[in-house]
Amino acid sequence: MNNPAIRLFEEAVKKIADDSEELAEVYAARLRRVIAATNDARSTIAHADLDGARILLGGAEHATGLPTYNGLLRGVDPAGRLRVFGHERILSFPLRGPNTDLRPHRELIGLTLPKEPKDIPRMARWALQADRTSERGFHLIKPVPSDWGGDKPRWDWDDELHPGPWYNPDDPVPPIIEHVHANPNDEYGALVNTGIDEPELTLVRVNGATLGEITYGNDVFQAAIRENPRGDLMLVSCSPAARSMAAYMHEEAGFDRTIHAFNNEVQHKMYADYNGGKSQIGVKAMPDATVAPIDMVSSFPPPSGSPSTPWTHKTKC
């Protein structure tokens, strides 16, 4: 492939071989499949040079009078153009655990929708750590006064692992993890092959409902819910737009498990140790004026529970 931008993704995939050659081959095959969709006659994509193509991803999107594209998805590219694309053009990768005595089958724990090449090896390695503390909870990232003075605080991870609402110590079923980037406008990002003659990976912004369509139609997600038939879905993202995503998953797709989503910026880190490494999730704690407890996680149960009123997990900062 002579495309410089695509080569960056190919090189990122190769880095995974340092940790798992088997997983690197899986990632490379998925990248090739998305690139090949450029010339796939079954794949339909529209640049949408239409009147009013610069649209909002909220209610305005559905008020534009655009036709319903059978089996296709819609989003907006960085230039504000509407993009219409099929599932086969979306870049996604499986998150798999380590091969250890306790986890001998390298289980499928979820999926990642990368934003850029460096996300690919980073999230693959994060998932490969032997102790994924995110299966049990999360850390708070708190502002502390800067050592250098000034108004900008320094952000420190606290040591305490706060139990997540997806975790039951009496019945510890790990959640299915979906990692996806988001922006402050409650829009999620997905890399889509928007190329027609040559492959071109474009970060397309989608709303929560469309993320639900992307998720439920994703082959990795379908494999994950088969392999983990009881785990909830944990959305690792920096957007509180999960309500509309959960509504689609529950009401349209029929997904019958609780969906948990963080309400603020999420970070992840990992470090090596003699026990196979540890990975963590942290959430920025933003107290209000009264330093009241913060709703760090919103949980959306399926309709058989309380579909209209999600409960929230409160953690004091």
Domain boundaries, the chain: 4-55+68-315
Nearest-10 Cα torsion for 222, 223, 225, 231: -140
Q: Report pLDDT for 252.
A: 93
Q: Report pLDDT for 55.
A: 39
Average pLDDT, the chain: 81
Q: How many residues does the chain have?
A: 317
Q: Report pLDDT for 264.
A: 85
The radius of gyration of the chain from alpha carbons, rounded to an integer in Å, stands at: 20
Residue 13's nearest CA partner among 107, 93, 87 is 93
166 vs 62, more confident: 166
Question: Is the pLDDT reported for residue 305 higher than 70?
Answer: no
> For residue 287, what pLDDT band results from cuts at 50, 70 and 90?
low
Report, as an integer, the average pLDDT of 261-282: 86
pTM recorded for the entire structure:
0.84
Q: Report pLDDT for 139.
A: 93
As given in the structure block, the two tokens for residue 145 are 């006064």
| Tens of pLDDT, residues 82-124 | 999 999 999 999 999 986 555 545 689 999 999 999 999 999 9
Q: Report pLDDT for 206.
A: 95
> For residue 309, what pLDDT band results from cuts at 50, 70 and 90?
very low
